[in-house]
Structure 1
Amino acid sequence: MALPQGPLEHRYQGEHPVRTLAYLFRKDRLRLLVAVLAFVVKHSPVWLLPLVTANIIDIVVEKRPISELGGNTLVLVVVLLLNYPTHMLYVRCMHCSVRRTGTGLRSALCHRMQELSIGYHSRTSASALQTKVIRDVENIEQSVQQSADTGLAAVISLIGGLVVIGLRVPAALPAFVLVVPAASLLVRRLRERLRSHNEHFRRQVEQLSSRIGEMTSLMPVTRAHGLERAALGRVDGTLRQVLSAGIRLDLLNGHFGAIAWILLQTIGTAFLAGAALISYYAWLPISPGDVVMLSTFFTTLTGSMTMLMGLAPIVAKGLESVRSAGEVLQAPDLEVNAGKAEVPAVMGRIDFESVTYRYDAEGAAAVTDFSLSVRPGETVALVGASGAGKSTILNLLIGFIRPVSGRILLDGADMATLDLRSYRRFLSVVPQDSVLFEGSIRENVGYGLPDVDEQTVRAALRDANALEFVDRLPGGLDTVVGERGARLSGGQRQRIAIARALIRDPRILVLDEATSALDTRSEALVQEAMDRLMCGRTVFVVAHRLSTVRNADRIVVLDQGRISEIGSHAELLSRGGAYARLQSTQVT
């Protein structure tokens, strides 16, 4: 089944979530209409059965022809037999439409997240975005399904029952219009008294979840210090609170549930007795069958009204999830590439011209008046204290953020006019913490390259000093690395990341603290692999360890977003400036 495609965000600008839902289901309007019609047929026994029962009772009491009994029974049997095909038709049309719409919404959210800027992603929790794609869409699906199943059942029961009463015993219709909503409201009010107690219990369970999460995360510390009893004591205390709150809630549920049931049954009994008296004394033309029918309809219609009232929190939860998804779909912080020039090839010349950037419009600039020309094939290192602006320069180079003033040129072309997606095909990044996905080494190295052959993968791994450990793994290239590469060491992950960069043959290479978290042996292997990777490419290196940048063609020393000095390792040491001071600090 093809997934729905296309942007949805333009339908979320300031719109009410109900209209948004109507838009989401626009392609399934015919299916939804068929689903409603099928539901009317499948649910008809609910309001038809009391009528047929009344007819059968009257036939028996009044000794009418037995053929009428057979006719009523046949009608009911036919309607009951129709339940299965109409129910399956309803599920196919309604539930499948909901699933398709949910899939389309998840697809739209994922597409939008790919379009949103890195600035947006740095400000927004990844777990929050994951919740929107998984939980919020699931809430929308469940809300629509429950509203359709419960709401249609209640509405059809109400309409069918009131129509039958209006045609069969019109004199009883005003009583139903008045008594049924009142009884339903009383039952609803009793149940609402439980809401605060349910909320209190939910908070207790959430606190328990937090305690257990805390216990599992602190397990190494707990074991190392022999604090198992203390940890269990904290959890046991919360468990006792949850137990106490749960018992109180169960008792209250039983209390209010019994009162609601007794109230409803008492009103129903009174209704039955009243109808029987009216029939007995012939105050109104009501037959014995009508008495049974009216009593049955009272219970059915009251239940339907109660169900409709109970839908409010379900609908509210679904609409809130629509708003939550809309926060992503209408987020304006986009990386706009449409209509910009494609980059067919890259030589590797980069020019920063008086570039200034600030993360907060009113805050201090992270980079100020940064000007630097980098020749194709040149290696430039960025050094400086934390907060000096090194990562900001790299983010500007990659195109994650755009200058607030000045410009960046790629081979003489302003990057603001280029499709950055096409530019990034010629760029590779090796970060400090290499991100690998759950898959094989082969899949991680060839990520995004569908037709790469094994020989090419092995060559990239060999140049990255990774083939020696990959061949020792039980599955070789097909070894699954685990989530985020958890089954590999830090040095192994980094060499896989270098192989992933090598196989793309980038023209521009960004190395961001690529060896800072490694031990001496792993650093030597990774550094040797990076030397191969850097050959013949324009390279930007960020490193705290100055020993890893001494071979750079030029070293740019940054201080509070400004260039403090530029030169080779030897030149900067001979000047005795900021770089020399950094060097002496690390040596000592």
Structure 2
Amino acid sequence: MALPQHPLDHRYRGEHPLRSVAYLLQQDRGRIALAALAFAIKHSPTWLTPVITAYVIDVVVDHRPISGLWAGTGLLLVLLVANYPFHLLYVRCWYGSGRRMGTRLRSALCHRMQELSIGYHTRVSAGVLQSKVIRDVEALEQAFAQTGDMGLSALATLVGALVVIGLRTPAFLPVFLLVVPAASALVMWLRGRLRAYNESFRQEVEQLSSRVSEMTTLIPITRAHGLEHTALRRVDGTLRQVLTAAMRLDRLNGQFGALAWILLNVLGVGCLAGAGLAAYYGWLAVTPGDVVMLSAYFSSLTAAVTTLMSLTPVISKGLESVRSAGEVLEEPDLEHNAGKTEVTAVQGRIDFEQVEFGYRDSDRPSVCDFTLSVRPGETIALVGASGAGKSTVLNLVIGFLRPTGGRILLDGTDMEELDLRSYRRFLSVVPQESILFEGTVRDNVTYGLTDVTEETVRAALRDANALEFIDRLPRGLDTVVGERGARLSGGQKQRLAIARALIRDPRVLVLDEATSALDPHSERLVQQALGRLVRGRTVFVVAHRLSTIRGADRIATLQDGRIAEIGTHEELLRNGGHYALLQSAASA
């Protein structure tokens, strides 16, 4: 069954990140409009207070009817009380839209990571991808929230104040309108530098995330060899680079803020002096209340424009986070399955026809002119020196890699024409190091399956020689195994991996060095379990110990990505070829 198409699939193609943000918010346009309206109402006391204050001052100075004072005061009190319900409405609509936007972007990233090829995941650190899903989306959510809180506040103040000034003292409107273009010019001047510095800082933090992930993974090796200082030196070097980039970014933001503050306040002083002179000499029809209003509005406008400019680094950081996410969303190295034939049944016949495969960073192919026909239910063992191409062949069988030459047929159909996700429902892999997650024994064995009875789980564990230690665990099947199965031994984890394979009843089985890291007792138990697992299935096995593959139907010896010889254990020994040499070396 194909994965559901996600809204951002094949959408991001390097367009301006604002378009991507708008696309993410498309479903919340009504809520955002309602939030902006609610904010304008709740924020109205901020820009109405100076004009009401001016009116009250003129009532007092000119001895107008006192009812004007009570009317202005009452209006302000009503608007202040209305702030509460409209603020709650704003938070629900605006913040909710931001959270949903972040959820959609995280979902899009996770969907795309599942679609990207295994080759991509071997090139890109898991720590970097985790940083994009967590840190970058969080930065975008914060930018959206601050844009609402600060940006809408500044815009409401600007619009409200300019409208009042235009109606009450239009002669001063051109002076006030100088503030916006002056600030805009400053923003445009610094925007390019802010983007470059934000991108540099983001890359340094991603590198730090990768370093810390690497350090935590290697702690057992580091501790065992007394290399703590070496590991810390590597991390400290990256920390210094992050510190340098962060301080450089802070310095630029500081310069930006200081220049903006000086410019706007100089203009404010000039406006106050001009309004006072106009009232004093009677140049314009300006009342004492108007002077107070203009002074208050200029302070408000100064704060509003400063706020808008202070949002520039926040917004730049948020947009840089969208660009960072876009590096994953527009990555072309995908495993394409859309529109291909779904696999509904597998017999297990696999034919390699002059298959070739070469990695991007290699000047020679890892597999070359590889031709092999595997019958349903046959066990094929692959042996050879390191780098001979064994793991590449296994990855070709799984479909993690696609041939760069030749073709692979599954039951007579070219695998290029098949939906590999549906094919893998009939395939199981038992790797050298079992991959378990933080959960119970039951969860790990039945991962991805539903409605599995306890009898079925116990039968799989029994066939995997795992029931004997499972029943000794504190809570049996419901015992939590710890992160990556930390509470289990290597042999126990491997037997759980075999039980996970058994319960799926696969038609094709891949065993990659499944016993190489085990002690003799655990190896014997795992070999017994593997013997039950391979029955009636097409099996590809790579084994470090040649003694474990003697029972294979055929053994293929690989050299430089080619099959040098193939046959049964006895046939290859009689031929006295490369396999016989490997066997002699292993017995020595």
- Are the counterparts in 2 of residues 180 and 298 from structure 1 also a CA contact under 8 Å? no
- Which residue in the other structure is 1:409 paired with? 409
1:574 equivalent to 2:574? Answer yes
Alignment of 1:376 onto 2:376: yes
Q: Which residue does the alignment assign to 1:397?
A: 397
Retained in 1: the 8 A contact 2:207–2:238? Answer: yes
Of the structure 1 ranges 377-386 and 79-88, higher mean CA displacement relative to structure 2 is found in 79-88
Q: What does residue range 79-478 of structure 1 map to in structure 2 within 5 Å?
A: 79-178=79-178, 268=268, 271-360=271-360, 363-478=363-478
Please state whether the residue corresponding to 2:570 is helix, strand or coil: helix
Check whether the contact 1:11–1:23 (CA below 8 A) recurs between aligned residues: no
Q: Distance in 1 between the 2:413 and 2:189 partners?
A: 69
Matched, 1:531 2:524: no
Corresponding residue number in structure 2 for 1:9: 9
Going from structure 1 to structure 2, the CA distance change for 1:99 and 1:540 (only over 3 Å counts) comes to same
Counterpart of 2:98 in structure 1: which amino acid? V
Residue in structure 1 matched with residue 548 of structure 2 by the alignment: 548
- The structural deviation recorded for 1:370 is 1.1
Does the 8 Å contact 1:441/1:480 carry over to 2?
yes
* CA distance in 1 between partners of 2:117 and 2:313 (Å): 35
TM-score by length of 2: 0.88
- Please give the alpha-carbon distance, in whole angstroms, between the structure 1 residues aligned to 2:251 and 2:402: 61
Cα distance in structure 1, aligned partners of 2:236 and 2:346: 63
Distance (whole Å) between structure 1 residues aligned to residue 122 and residue 239 of structure 2: 37
Query: Match of 2:337, as an amino acid?
Result: N
Distance 1:65 1:222, change over 3 A: same
> How many Å apart are 1:205 and its aligned residue?
11
Secondary structure of the equivalent of 2:10?
helix
Deviation, 1:499, is: 0.4
| Alpha-carbon spacing, 1:549–1:246, altered in 2? closer, same or farther (3 Å) | closer
For residues 117 and 202 of structure 1, the distance between their equivalents in structure 2, rounded to whole angstroms, comes to: 25
The CA distance in 2 between the partners of 1:254 and 1:16, in whole Å, is 27
Pair 1:505–1:255, CA change in 2 (3 A): closer
Deviation readout 1:152-191 (Å, 9 max, x if unpaired): 221221111111111111122222223676589899999x
C-alpha change, 1:196 and 1:104, in structure 2 (3 Å) is: closer
1:501-538 deviation digits (Å, cap 9, x = unpaired): 01111111110011111122211111111111112211
Residue 225 of structure 1 and its aligned partner are, at CA, apart by 9.1
Query: What residue ranges of structure 2 are gaps of 5+ in the alignment?
Result: none
Moved more, 109-118 or 564-573: 109-118
TM-superposed CA distance for 1:248, in Å, is: 13
Cα 1:218–1:41 change in 2 (3 A) is same
**Cα gap change, 1:231 to 1:336, in 2 (>3 Å):** closer
CA drift of 1:231 comes to 10
Distance, in Å, in 1 between the alignment partners of 2:187 and 2:327 is: 37
Deviation larger for 270-279 or 403-412: 270-279
Q: 275-284 or 372-381: which moved more?
A: 275-284
> Matches of 2:373 and 2:243 in 1, distance apart?
68
Normalising by structure 1, we get a TM-score of 0.88
Query: Residues 59 and 249 (structure 1 numbering): CA distance in 2 closer, same or farther, change over 3 Å?
Result: same
SS of the equivalent of 1:354 reads: strand
Matched residues in 1 for 2:268 and 2:391: separation?
73
Offset at residue 227 of structure 1 (A): 9.9
Once the 2 structures are TM-superposed, how far is the Cα of residue 335 of structure 1 from its aligned partner?
2.1
* Segment of structure 1 superposing worse, 116-125 or 56-65: 116-125
- 8 A contact 2:438–2:483 mirrored in 1: yes
- What SS does the aligned partner of 2:544 have? coil
**Structure 1 residue 234 displacement after superposition:** 12
Of stretches 450-459 and 364-373 in structure 1, the one that deviates more from structure 2 is 364-373
CA distance in 2, matches of 1:160, 1:500: 66
Per-residue deviation, residues 486-510 of structure 1 (Å, max 9, x unmatched): 1211111111000000111111111
Confirm or deny: 8 A CA contact 1:279 1:287 kept in the other structure: yes
Deviation larger for 552-561 or 172-181: 172-181
Q: What is the number of residues matched between the two proteins?
A: 585
* Offset, 1:36: 1.6
Matched AA of 2:526: V
Q: Say yes or no: does 1:60 pair with 2:80.
A: no
Aligned to 1:31: 31
What one-letter code is carried by the residue in structure 2 that aligns with 1:97? S
Kindly indicate whether the alpha-carbon contact (under 8 Å) linking 2:183 and 2:260 is maintained by their aligned counterparts in 1. Answer: no
- Counterpart of 1:121, as a letter, is H
Match of 1:504 in 2: 504
Mean alpha-carbon deviation: is it higher for 213-222 or for 569-578?
213-222
Q: Secondary structure of the equivalent of 1:566? A: strand
Query: Partner amino acid for 1:48?
Result: L
Query: What's the offset of the Cα at 1:277?
Result: 3.3
Q: 1:318 to 1:219 in 2, by over 3 A?
A: closer
| Structure 1 residues 198 and 122, CA gap change in structure 2 (3 angstroms) | closer
Distance in 2 between residues matched to 1:91 and 1:502, nearest whole Å? 51
SS of the equivalent of 2:566 reads strand
Q: Specify the code of the residue in structure 2 equivalent to 1:283.
A: W
- Structure 2 counterpart of 1:169, which letter? T
Q: Which amino acid aligns with 1:68?
A: G
Q: C-alpha displacement at 1:77, in angstroms?
A: 1.5
Secondary structure of 1:581's counterpart equals: helix
Matched letter for residue 320 of structure 2: E
2:214 and 2:403 map into 1 onto residues whose CA distance is 42
**CA-atom RMSD in angstroms:** 4.1
Aligned counterparts of 1:324 and 1:133: Cα–Cα separation in 2:
10
Confirm or deny: 8 A CA contact 1:5 1:108 kept in the other structure: no
Residue 194 (structure 1) shift: 13
1:406-455 CA distance string (max 9 Å, x none): 22222222222222222211111000011111110001001111110111
Q: 1 CA distance for matches of 2:416 and 2:138?
A: 39
Preserved CA contact (<8 Å) 1:112 1:329:
yes
Q: Is the 8 A contact 1:185 1:306 kept in 2?
A: no
Cα offset, 1:221, TM superposition: 8.7
CA distance 1:353–1:250, change in 2 (3 Å):
closer
For 1:468 and 1:139, locate their aligned partners in 2 and report how far apart those are by CA, in whole Å.
Answer: 49
Q: Is the 8 A contact 2:253 2:313 kept in 1?
A: no
The one-letter amino acid of 1:436's match is L
Identity %: 69
Provide the rounded CA distance (Å) in 2 between the counterparts of 1:375 and 1:189.
69
1-side partners of 2:197 and 2:324: how far apart?
A: 27
> 2: distance between equivalents of 1:177 and 1:268?
12
**Counterparts of 1:547 and 1:473, CA distance in 2:** 32
Alpha-carbon displacement from aligned partner over 1:107-135 (angstroms, at most 9, x marks no partner)? 12222222222222222222222222222
Q: Which moved more, 1:462-471 or 1:305-314?
A: 305-314
Partners of 2:246 and 2:378 in 1: CA distance: 68
Q: Give, in whole Å, the separation in 1 of the partners of 2:451 and 2:359.
A: 40
